[in-house]
Amino acid sequence: MVGTSAVIESMSSAVNGKEVADVRFDLTAVVPELVPAVVKSEVDAAVNGGDEEQKREIVLGRNIHTSSFSVTEPDADDDSTGDKEAYMASVLARYRKTLTDRTKYHLGYPYNLDFDYGALTQLQHFSINNLGDPFIESNYGVHSRQFEVGVLDWFARLWDIEKDEYWGYITNCGTEGNLHGILVGREVFPEGILYASKESHYSIFKAARMYRMECEKVGTLLTGEIDCADFKVKLLANKDKPAIINVNIGTTVKGAVDDLDLVIKTLEDCGFSHDQFYIHCDGALFGLMMPFVKRAPKVTFKKPIGSVSVSGHKFVGCPMPCGVQLTRLEHINALSSNVEYLASRDATIMGSRNGHAPLFLWYTLNRKGYKGFQKEVQKCLRNAHYLKDRLIGAGISAMLNELSSTVVFERPKDEEFVRKWQLACERNMAHVVVMPSVTVDKLDNFLDELVEARSIWYKDEDVKPPCLASDIGSKNCCCPQHRMIS
């Protein structure tokens, strides 16, 4: 591997010396001594059924600042323009090769990398901006509102709400959808308390900080679902204030789906009428998968929910981060204001919005439709069960929630292995999110490497695999202690 200083020196001399054709550098070059130090962090861990605070090392990703590609000013000499273009082309070509390689080893994050949007390349030369309200055309004419509203209508049908009863927009990411949903709830109930399970996405708690909201963190079951018994205790302690609730349609780590019907029943049992609570459903990944699982409960505006958000770059497979946020039209007036500068109304989080994202969503929804998504969901669930069964068969702790394609398993001991396969980790857990782009062959390659690596990590009898009983239950734990019990 080439050292980073040599890489930068080579790049610099290539530009200044105009030896562009001979540029050599390694995009994976890293300076070991500049990797960020391990961060000590206090985490709550349930150890042997009890809550204890313990110190845990959180390993941050590599510091790539020293190997970044600097921006250099063009030479005053016009003759050098061709050299500069050739240099930039070589950088981009090697970057493309790196992307191709890293895509082969992508398992831990919920992105569908299987897509082809060649038909949309003809539109990349336009600055498409959907600033303002999707339903009110602004003075800026280079927009894609027609596509955006078409996509929103498709999701309105999916979640059972009439066109004249909803408002929504295509967001820049799933977090923006959550920020908007919680903001609507806060505007409807300014004195409301936010309730969210401790396994909710970090953006929910970010929203609480941003909006200065009182927030109650609710416990969870081993599956990762919200614990409605604990939820009830916290509701009863705050009966004098309205409730704003985040319901997870697939938690970040375990892929758990909160029981929406039980959450509503708990609210009603605690004396909260429908005009005293607001429910936001965070469906980042599974919000678009669950409608196509026959035995799954429905997320629908026929129930007393206030908003739903999903990500567009996850299951759908858009090449840029984006999302969809829908709420009831009756709620949006509390947020909206007319903007003369735009000749439109605005109730979004961001001002300018990516006008290309609606085109990608519209294109995919038209190509796949309900039946196409249903086939992909079935494939994901089938492959997820395959992965879980093979992990257990290899003696590796693993869990898969009934309605999920997220397989939780024992955290690999080697951080280089984690980085290679781009695994998401928390405490002693790692997970693989089985998406349409994850094939059985890729899973087999991953499993073969994991089994081989574990034979090295744990060849010394004094080194044991971690116990995951407190995270995924003793029945799913294959550590030496629980293997003997079973």
Rounded to an integer, what distance in angstroms lies between the CA atom of residue 105 and that of residue 3?
23
Q: Are 477 and 466 in contact (CB under 8 A)?
A: no
Query: Residue 57 to residues 24, 32, 43, 54, 480: CA-CA distances in angstroms?
Result: 36, 18, 10, 10, 23
Q: Report which secondary-structure segment, H or E, holds 381.
A: helix 356-393
Question: Taken in order 215, 253, 415, 321, is the CA torsion positive or negative?
Answer: negative
The token duo for 198 is: 């401790």
Rounded to an integer, what distance in angstroms lies between the CA atom of residue 427 and that of residue 420?
19
Backbone angles phi, psi at 201, to 5 degrees: -60, 145
Query: Residue 234 to residues 52, 107, 197, 261, 272: CA-CA distances in angstroms?
Result: 21, 37, 12, 18, 13
Rounded to an integer, what distance in angstroms lies between the CA atom of residue 50 and that of residue 226?
18
**Angular region, 473: left φ>0, alpha ψ -120 to 50, beta rest:** left
Residue showing tokens 């409807």: 188
Q: Is 464 helix (H, G, I), strand (E, B) or coil?
A: coil
Q: Are 247 and 258 in contact (CB under 8 A)?
A: yes
Is 437 a residue of the active site? Answer: no
Backbone angles phi, psi at 466, to 5 degrees: -70, 150
Q: Report which secondary-structure segment, H or E, holds 400.
A: strand 398-400
Q: Are 354 and 322 in contact (CB under 8 A)?
A: yes
**What's the per-residue H, E or C state across 181-205?**
HHHHHHHHCCCCEEEEECCCCHHHH
The one catalytic residue among 144, 404, 405, 470: 404
Rounded to an integer, what distance in angstroms lies between the CA atom of residue 400 and that of residue 223?
9
Q: Are 151 and 364 in contact (CB under 8 A)?
A: no
Angle, nearest 10°, between helix axes 356-393 and 440-457? 50
Angle, nearest 10°, between helix axes 202-210 and 174-188? 40
Rounded to an integer, what distance in angstroms lies between the CA atom of residue 248 and that of residue 217?
13
Q: What angle do CA 190, 272, 178 make, to 5 degrees?
A: 50
Q: Which residues contact residue 275 at a Cβ distance below 8 angstroms, ignoring those fewer than 6 apart?
A: none
**Which residues are the active-site residues?**
404
